[in-house]
Amino acid sequence: MQNIAVVTGASSGIGAATARRLAAEGFHVVAAARRADRLAELIDEIGPAATAVTCDVTSEESVAALAAAVTALGGPVTLLVNNAGGAVGLDPVESGSAADWQSMYDVNVLGTLRVTQALLPALITSGNGTIVTVGSTAAFTVYEGGGGYTAAKHAQNALVGTLRLELSGKPVRIVEVDPGMVRTDEFSLKRFGGDRAKADAIYDGVKEPLVADDIADIIAFAATRPHHVNLDRIVVRPIAQAAQHKVYREK
């Protein structure tokens, strides 16, 4: 039986790129996301090495159905990629929307918690489990207008670090990948409510931001090392981004 890899947030961006890459690495990929139509397109592209499961990580019932679908495949579950997440808005703390903050916490933190809890027994049983969580440089650096997102990513980082301690002695590796500036089709567009001009302005003058395939490559690398090798935390930025607040932009 092929080893099974579950990728959340797989309908676009880093999640879709990771699903493609892991299938090429020999995994049977369970691509999970809310948008069934986008998942169908991805599965058509990948072929029989992938299975689509419509899943909303903010719903316990939906995550339970995902776990059941994975179990029904019958193979060993050796990899979980917690990729579902996102940012909403760029408002200062004094005027930020509590609803937006709650939404970001629910998907980035509680979504990671729900899926991890649901699949952890299978990952342990496999004897060869790995959990890769896609965080952000926002997990350790704050910036103006990013209070809600950085708070959520800091909390997600705390979850991952705690889990690594609690699973010491169990056959499950815990990896965190923290990207900086990654240009995908939807991340910034969703953040700014579909405002393309605002979304594109984030990358103005940046010759080569990271792209989804760059992160998928790193996830695949971490997941395919010998199992005794745990890459605890991988921070990755484009060369143009020396730090969160320092980005070289060509004029």
**Which residues does the annotation mark as catalytic?**
149
For residues 119 and 213, give the distance between their C-alpha atoms in angstroms, rounded to a whole number. Answer: 25
DSSP 3-state assignment of 1?
coil
For residues 31 and 38, give the distance between their C-alpha atoms in angstroms, rounded to a whole number. Answer: 10
**Residue length of the chain:** 251
Residue with tokens 């760059």: 214
For residues 45 and 38, give the distance between their C-alpha atoms in angstroms, rounded to a whole number. Answer: 11
For residues 59 and 110, give the distance between their C-alpha atoms in angstroms, rounded to a whole number. Answer: 10
Which residues in 158-187 are b (16+ Cβ under 10 Å) and which e? ebbeebbeebeeeebbbbbbbbbbbbbeeb
End-to-end CA distance of the chain: 53
* Short-list 229, 107, 154, CA closest to 162: 154
Can you state the angle between helices 13-24 and 212-223, rounded to 10 degrees? 40
Question: Beta-carbon neighbour count of residue 204 at 10 Å?
Answer: 9
